[in-house]
Amino acid sequence: MSNICKTVTLRTRKIKGGEQLSYYLDYYPGYRDESTMKVMRHESLGIYIYAKPKNQRERDYNDRMREKAEDHLVLLQQIHLPCFRGRCIWI
């Protein structure tokens, strides 16, 4: 990973069918993957939630998955992104 300042945001997007949402990390500006030399702007976390939960079980599931996604972001920031005023540097 290159030493470019960036911010990382946790976001969701609709997936096929529109009944579920997928969590992903949005990097701004993107970073260059050294193995493929492509600029990366997004990274999927593989965590899915219900777009419109119909009952308490689905709401609880969404809450657990949101916490899991937020934990992933916090872990990423603690290990790889020493931040200063919202701007981060890959080390």
Q: How far apart are CA 56 and CA 60, in angstroms?
A: 6
Asked whether the beta carbons of 25 and 14 are under 8 A apart, the reply is no
- As given in the structure block, the two tokens for residue 7 are 């911010």
Question: If residue 45 lies in a helix (H) or strand (E), which one and from where to where?
Answer: strand 39-50
pLDDT at 7: 81
Inform me whether the pLDDT recorded for 89 exceeds 70.
Answer: no
pLDDT digits (tens, 9 = 90+) for 27-85: 887 777 778 888 888 889 999 999 999 999 999 999 999 999 999 888 877 766 554 44
pLDDT at 18: 86
Q: How far apart are CA 84 and CA 52, in angstroms?
A: 36
pTM score of the predicted model: 0.75
- As given in the structure block, the two tokens for residue 14 are 């609709």
